[in-house]
Structure 1
Amino acid sequence: MTATATVTTRPSTSAAGSLRDAITLTGRVLQHWKRRPGSILIGLLFPVLMVLMFGYLFGGAMAVPDGKYMDFLVPGMLTMTMLFGLESMVLAVTADTAKGVTERIRAMPVTTPAILAGRSIADLLNAAVGLAVMVLAGLLVGWTSHRDLLLTLAGFGLLIWLRFAFTWVGIYLGLVLKTPESATGVQLLVWPVGFLSSAFVSPETMPGWLGAASTWNPLSATATAIRELFGNPNWHAQNWATEHSITLALIWPAVLTVIFLPLAARQYRVLGR
């Protein structure tokens, strides 16, 4: 892959200049996606396939209080879709590093915040498209939000907030791992983290220690919160994490961002030293 976008040749010292650079670099990522529509399409449709598999193959064996399993599953899969962004981000960053694209961009007079922001903005646009596809699929299989528009949009806002945090985790891990081959370890970890949550089943059905870990998983916080905001069936454990799921869904991504955004910026600055 070659970097074909034209990046400004002056130092971006002002906020406006950094913003222009970030938009330009966002365009570079989007142009790259246009050249490989097949992989983008697979990434968008894979969560839909999981909804169909879990909803129709296993849904009959799932007992959900106060509703259908599909209404419980779709918010969980919306949350899992945000997690899948971490995997794709790691692969994208390591691919750029391995092919020398990252070093070529580093040689240009562009600030580190602009470079990382460009990658983050592109990922959030991808997340928004993925959410739209998943919502359409959910509506087609019978899922719906039973709350008003404002609460429904608040639920989507929590999902994008979680994806924003995972974006910085992915950028940092991609810069640390550097090669697509080493990034396979992240792919192996994504699935256990995803399944160790309330995305598919209630933590109440798990062994005590495993259920506790699942309860405090950031994915569980967001999945539980958006089920509440959408008026979908939820699990009813009496604990702080469940009763304050919306608060926890705001806190977890903030903590991840505060930790991994500076780490990503620092790792980018020392890359290649």
Structure 2
Amino acid sequence: MSTLLSDGGAVLTRQLQKARHAPALLILTQTMPVAMLLFFGYVFGSALAMPGREYRQFLVPGLLAATAANGLMAGMFTAAQDAHRGVTDRFRTLPMSRTAVPLGQTAADLLTTAVSMVPLMLVGLAMGWRVENDPAGALGALGVLLLFRFATAWVGTYLGLLSKSEEAAGQLGSATFLLPMLSAAYLPTAGLPGWLRTVAEWNPISAVATAVRVMCAGAGGEAAEAAAGAAWPVAHPVAGALLWSLVLLAVFVPAATRRYARGRD
């Protein structure tokens, strides 16, 4: 375990130094969610039945969940870049734990994500979003978001190691931008057709977004609305979000580790 932590820490430090020398990427990851919040909050918010503040109260947790889900894209790009530039092969020749490299990459992504969520939450507060629950509920919501981000980063790492090229990983990663669209991140699912509502509510992002809303607002109207005719992960959002994250980790941590150890076929 100590070897894993020390080796993983070395990879984490390398990833953070790499990010520090790519400030444009950091700026993009921090400004894009804010830009989407401003666009959705003022453009879509004026076109919905929800009054402006109520929609922003709904929207900010959804954007936080979408940001957490972007671990899929970030993990895919990072793993593919290192694999196809020979960095992963050099790591593989070193006497270090096979889990350390993907662990260090996903842990670095988790730290940068925690930082990138701060501007989004500050802008959300300026636009009228409020945390109405106690501090424990708010911290629990942050924990759910970061756990989900960690899980999706492992999924992305596995897919990035499978990719045939950096370009293919980038194209596939960009396509994951559509996943929050088919969820409860930006709009309530209650008005969707039956089959589409089922698909959207079994999307893990829906459970995470609803869990953040409930944990920030308390067990009031949001919880009752979520339970009304919803699929199990949305009717029990906190349990659903945690279960989705743990299942993804249980499947993709060993899968990504085995794929890393095998190298490119």
For normalisation by structure 1, the TM-score amounts to 0.90
- What value does the CA root-mean-square deviation take over the aligned residues? 1.8
* Greater percentage in helix: 2
Counterparts of 2:45 and 2:52 in 1: how far apart (Å)?
Answer: 15
Cα 1:42–1:148 shift into 2, 3 Å: same
Match of 2:257 in 1: 265
Q: How does 1:101-112 map to 2 (within 5 A)?
A: 101-112=87-98
Deviation at 1:188, TM superposition (A): 4.2
CA 1:247/1:65 → structure 2, altered by over 3 Å: closer, same or farther? Answer: farther
Output one character per residue of 1:6-64: Cα deviation in whole Å (capped at 9) or x when no partner. Answer: xxxxxxxxx22221111111000011111111111111110110000000111111223
- Give the 3-state SS of the residue equivalent to 2:50 in structure 1: coil
Are 2:14 and 1:50 equivalent residues in the alignment? no
Q: 2:176 aligns with which of 185, 190, 200?
A: 190
Task: State how many pairs are aligned.
Answer: 259
Give me the whole-angstrom Cα distance separating, in 2, the residues matched to 1:241 and 1:82.
Answer: 17
Counterparts of 1:153 and 1:63, CA distance in 2: 30
CA contact (8 A) 1:93 1:178 kept: no
Residue 154, structure 1, aligned to residue 140, structure 2: yes
1:238 aligns with 2:229: yes
1:213 pairs with 2:172 = no
Task: Flag the 1:244–1:71 CA change in 2: closer, same or farther, 3 A.
Answer: same
Which whole-Å CA distance do the structure 2 matches of 1:144 and 1:186 have between them? 35
Summarize the Cα distance change of 1:84–1:241 in structure 2 as closer, same or farther, 3 Å threshold.
closer
**Alignment partner, residue 210 of structure 2:** 224
In 1, the alpha carbon distance for the partners of 2:118 and 2:28 equals 15
Task: Call closer, same or farther: CA 1:66–1:31 in 2, change over 3 Å.
Answer: closer
1:177 correspondence with 2:177? no
Change (3 A) 1:242 1:93: closer
Cα distance in 2, alignment partners of residues 36 and 185 from structure 1: 20
What's the secondary structure of 2:207's corresponding residue? Answer: helix
8 Å CA contact 1:80, 1:194 repeated in 2: yes
TM-score w.r.t. structure 2 length? Answer: 0.92
Distance 1:131 1:209, change over 3 A: same
| Cα contact 1:81–1:130 (8 A) shared by 2 | no
Alignment partner, residue 27 of structure 1: 13
CA gap of 1:52–1:67, structure 2 versus 1, over 3 A, is closer
1:203 to 178, 181, 189: 189
Distance in structure 2 (CA, Å) of the matches to 1:146 and 1:53: 24
Partner Cα separation in structure 2 for residue 92 and residue 49 of structure 1: 24
Kept in 2, the 8 Å contact 1:79–1:223? The answer is yes
Q: Is the 8 A contact 1:94 1:174 kept in 2?
A: yes
